Structure 1
Amino acid sequence: MGKLDEKVAIITGGAGGIGSGMAKAMAKEGAIVVIVDLNEETGKAMEKELQAISPKSMFMQANLMDRENLPNIIKTVVEKYGKLNVLVNNAHASKQVTIEDITQDDLDLSFNTGFYPTFYLMQAALPYLKETKGNVINFASGAGINGHETQGSYAAAKEAIRGISRVAANEWGRFGINVNIISPIANSPGVQAWAKAQPEYYEAVRSKIPLGRFGDVEEDIGRVAVFLASEDSQYMTGQTFMVDGGSIMLH
């Protein structure tokens, strides 16, 4: 028996990086995982990998910037599986520029791939999460919590996600729905590419992590997502979980 047996979970940005780590961790605990991603090639490859663990899992191609289609993602999953237990809003894209150089397009990219999909998917999922007393897992970032340079558009959207998550936690607690937030540092493909491009900067950042390493997308981030999707976390809501090796210690 897995912690998530037969629970249906949607993970946006699930074809790679942290999303794929969470997808594999949840599938290994018995969940039926629907990964939603724009990239068909990586999505199909991850679908095969997931189906070897959890045969009913699937890939759904979608552009999260297509706001009108967001409710259809939820509807399609519920029509196929009859329920929704877990919604994980992980996808996000942004550009790194200083505040003085941020354009409207930069803000739109960050909010249209991060905040708005998170908000509208939560809204569309609510009726079904009420039925299952389900879980929402959203994503924050140290970029927003600490205010990292050149991350203005990303930080703004991430902190907006934290804000709406806390409101939802207050409003939806009466329905038995918990809404929590993960703020990770992970050894994702993007971080690996950065390590090759700027090894000295990478090493400087790594050396400041108290646990001395970047997190594994499945074993570290994925396992916390499993916890937040399971019965083990049912008395926790509205919390930001710093899964970052101790880099930021919230007061």
Structure 2
Amino acid sequence: MSRLQGKVALVTGAGQGVGQGIAYALAAEGAHVAVVGRTAGKLEDTCTEIRRRGGDALPFMCDVMVKEEIERCVAQVLAHFGAINVLVNNAQVVPLGRLLEVTDEAFMQGIDSGPLATMRMMRACYPYLRGDGAVVNCVSSAAVRWDASGYGPYAAVKEAIRALTRAAACEWGSDGIRVNAIAPHAMSPGMAEWVAARPEEAAAFFKTIPLGRVGDCEKDIGRAVAHLVCAEAGYLTGATIPLDGGQAYWG
């Protein structure tokens, strides 16, 4: 497959989980992948696997909560690859917990790593996405859970990203930039930790997924993202795509 042949994709949080799965899938479609994150070893592992499969990838260290690091990262990606055609904002510090438990500091980390980082990264990449670029932002179905207890702060930061996604789609459509969001369920390290910590809640949650399983980071999430940023989805923008096996009802 080579639907993204010659394109350059920047994926944040690509050292593991959903971000890694997306990086694998984009590389499989021929994209040169800038693998972005905070942990050098994990980034290199992702790049090594992409190269083993015959793809092209390079690691870039970046803490998305620091504006200067985002700007430096984008400049480094451009210096190496010469372009940025696809941006995937996946990195996120998750502020899980009930309203009386989550600290201000934890909530602000969610803001800084989520909507603020997403806006900063989109702004930094905007000049290079013009013409035929695509952005995919990772959000969550937590805001439409039947029981939002313990998920309010997390849902709040993810809903902010959804709002920014819609705004960017409306403002940048005339520039040839498409911007969509995905709300995935996948067996990432974070999901695995949640299952281990809350096995009864997790078991009940999984029973509500019509397809009867949790998604695979690459096959179910990454490949869907690869399709979203390809020409075949060229008339789709401003949408939230629930990659969750039918679990959430967005209404």
TM range (shorter): over 0.9
Higher mean alpha-carbon deviation, 76-85 vs 47-56, is at 47-56
Question: Structure 2: which amino acid aligns with 1:32?
Answer: H
Q: What 5-or-longer segments of structure 1 have no aligned partner?
A: none
* 1:31 corresponding residue in structure 2: 31
- The 2-side partners of 1:208 and 1:81 are apart by 43
Answer with 59-68 or 21-30: which moved more. 59-68
CA RMSD of aligned residues (A): 1.5
Shift of 1:148: 2.6
Show CA shifts across 1:169-188 (max 9, x none): 00100011100000011111
The one-letter amino acid paired with 2:68 is: E
1:150 lines up with 2:160 in the alignment: no
Helix, strand or coil at the partner of 2:56: coil
Secondary structure at 1:100 match in 2:
coil
**Matches of 2:39 and 2:246, distance apart in 1:** 32
Q: Distance in 2 between matches of 1:30 and 1:149?
A: 42
State how far apart, in whole Å, the 1-side matches of 2:89 and 2:214 are: 21
Stretches of 4+ moved more than 6 A in 1? none
Q: Which amino acid in 2 is paired with 1:116?
A: L
8 Å contact kept, 2:8–2:33: yes
Q: Which range is displaced more, 138-147 or 72-81? A: 138-147
Segments of 5+ residues of structure 2 without an aligned counterpart are none
SS in 1 for 2:75: helix
Contact 1:15-1:43 at 8 Å conserved across structures: yes
Is 2:144–2:249's contact at 8 Å kept on the other side of the alignment? no
Number of equivalent positions: 250
Which moves more between the two structures, 160-169 or 196-205? 196-205
Identity among equivalent pairs (%): 37
1:52 Cα deviation (Å)? 2.0
Q: For residues 211 and 145 of structure 1, what CA distance do their matches in structure 2 show? A: 19
Distance (whole Å) between structure 1 residues aligned to residue 148 and residue 78 of structure 2: 39
Residue number in structure 2 paired with 1:106: 106
Find out whether 1:140 has 2:139 as its counterpart: yes
Q: Secondary structure of the residue that 1:208 maps to in structure 2?
A: coil
Separation in structure 1 between the aligned mates of residue 220 and residue 200 of structure 2, nearest angstrom: 24
Task: State the Cα deviation string for residues 60-84 of structure 1 (Å, max 9, x = none).
Answer: 1111121222122112111211111
CA shift, 1:53, in A, is 2.9
1:55 CA displacement: 4.5
Is the CA contact 1:106–1:153 (under 8 Å) kept in the aligned structure 2? no
TM score, norm. by length of structure 1: 0.95
Cα gap change, 1:106 to 1:76, in 2 (>3 Å): same
User: In the TM superposition, what whole-angstrom CA distance separates every residue of 1:71-100 from its partner, at most 9, and x where no partner exists?
Assistant: 221121112111111000001012322113
Mapped contact 2:5–2:30 kept (Cα < 8 A): yes
Write out aligned runs for 1:78-93 (5 A): 78-93=78-93
Note if contact 2:33-2:58 (Cα within 8 Å) is conserved in structure 1.
yes
Structure 2 match to 1:160: 160
